[in-house]
Amino acid sequence: MPGRLNELVVVFVSIVLQSQPFVLLGVFASAVVQRYLSAERLARWLPRSRLSVVLLASGFGFVAPVCDCGVIPLARRLGAKGLPLYAATTFILAAPVVNPVVLASTAVAFQGDWTIVGLRMAMSLSVAVTVGLLAATLMPDAQPQSVPGPALTAASGEDRRGGALADVVEHAVAEYFDISLFIVLGALFTAVTQTFVPRGDLVALGSSRIGSVVALMPLATLLSICSEADAFVARAFAATFSTGALLAFMTIGQIVDLRNGLLLFRTLPGRLVALIVVVAYGLIFVESLAVNRVLLGP
Find the domain containing 66 and state its range. Answer: 2-296
Reported confidence tier of residue 42, pLDDT bands at 50, 70, 90: low
In a 3-state reduction of DSSP, which class is residue 96? coil
With contact defined as beta carbons under 8 Å apart, do 124 and 57 qualify? Answer: no
Residue-wise pLDDT for 47-104, tens only, equals 878 898 899 888 887 776 666 767 787 788 777 777 888 988 998 999 888 888 788 8
Question: Which residues fall within 8 angstroms of residue 254, CB to CB, at 6 or more apart?
Answer: 67, 68, 96, 97, 124, 227, 230
CA dist 42 and 228 (Å) reads 29
CA dist 55 and 32 (Å) reads 23
Query: What is the rounded average pLDDT of the residues 241-252?
Result: 90
Q: Which of 50-64, 135-149, 239-253, 282-296 has the lowest mean pLDDT?
A: 135-149
Q: How many residues would you count in the chain?
A: 298
If one counts the domains in the chain, the total is 1
CA dist 139 and 131 (Å) reads 11
Residue type at 273 in one-letter notation: V
Q: Which of 89-93, 167-171, 254-258, 268-272 has the lowest mean pLDDT?
A: 167-171
Reported confidence tier of residue 129, pLDDT bands at 50, 70, 90: very high
Answer whether residue 290 shows pLDDT above 80. yes
Question: Which residues fall within 8 angstroms of residue 8, CB to CB, at 6 or more apart?
Answer: 191, 192, 195, 196
Instruction: State the pTM of this model.
Output: 0.74
